[in-house]
Chains A and B, each alone.
Chain A
Amino acid sequence: QKEVEQDPGPLSVPEGAIVSLNCTYSNSAFQYFMWYRQYSRKGPELLMYTYSSGNKEDGRFTAQVDKSSKYISLFIRDSQPSDSATYLCAMSRNNDMRFGAGTRLTVKP
């Protein structure tokens, strides 16, 4: 079993839809929970991070962490074609970071 599980998709939604992306994990020692966005042939870029359980909102993006269920989510409201990318969840403890496989999202105009 992988430490971080993420449905690879692909996920295709119409413009304006609400997108829900999820990951589960097995290591309860993880402290920081991140979402990265990766465009084709580019390196990942950090979108949001959350420390411990709770919600965090940044514009159209909301990150949720439920440590009791070992489950994290990223919601994208009013999705745009420019949001089309692969979204990677990641979690870390100290300098040890683990990534999910990534979910490929396509937002159609």
Chain B
Amino acid sequence: DTGVSQDPRHKITKRGQNVTFRCDPISEHNRLYWYRQTLGQGPEFLTYFQNEAQLEKSRLLSDRFSAERPKGSFSTLEIQRTEQGDSAMYLCASSFPAVPAYEQYFGPGTRLTVT
């Protein structure tokens, strides 16, 4: 399968713990996006990388959230001191560089539950 992969698929954590998610984009896709999707809502943009450079961050990305893409390939999203409001599906998407934003390919998501 050469699609976008995310790990883990599910994560249950206690409030206050730190969690880290990984996204592996489609190879040769140099753009990588993170979104958050809560129940009954559409995905909300969090941040976007072109290669290893983080080019845009949403206001939704509080100081407790940090994303990296150290070698321009896979990316990690870390949430520190998790809160119950962080419970959501975290989606990763990737695309080729010279295409409009709509041509994003989404991974299956990581479902986070904070208890």
Contacts and interface: CB of A to CB of B under 8 A. Distances in A.
Please indicate whether A and B come from the same complex rather than being unrelated chains.
yes
Interface of A: 4, 6, 8, 31-32, 34, 41-46, 49, 88, 90, 92, 94-102
B104 A46 contact: yes
B91 interface: yes
A42 B107 CA distance: 8
Contacts of A41: 108-109, 111
Main secondary structure of the interface of B (DSSP, over half): loop
24 contacts: A6-B42, A8-B40, A32-B102, A34-B102, A41-B108, A41-B109, A41-B111, A42-B108, A43-B4, A43-B106, A44-B43, A44-B91, A46-B104, A46-B105, A88-B42, A92-B100, A95-B31, A96-B45, A96-B101, A97-B45, A97-B101, A99-B43, A102-B40, A102-B42
Given A43-B93, A96-B101, 16 more contacts: A4-B42, A31-B100, A43-B91, A43-B106, A44-B106, A46-B104, A46-B105, A88-B43, A95-B55, A96-B45, A97-B45, A97-B101, A98-B45, A100-B42, A101-B40, A101-B41
A74 B58 CA distance: 29
A41 B103 CA distance: 21
B56 interface: yes
Contact of B42 (A31, A32, A43, A99): A99
Interface of B: 4, 31, 40-45, 48, 55-56, 91, 93, 100-109, 111
A94 B91 CA distance: 20
Main secondary structure of the interface of A (DSSP, over half): strand
Q: Which of B31, B40, B56, B101 has the most CB of A within 10 A?
A: B101
B42 A101 contact: yes
Given A42-B108, A95-B56, A32 B101 contact: yes
Contacts of B107: 43
A3 B4 CA distance: 28
Given A43-B106, A43-B109, A44-B106, A95 B101 contact: yes
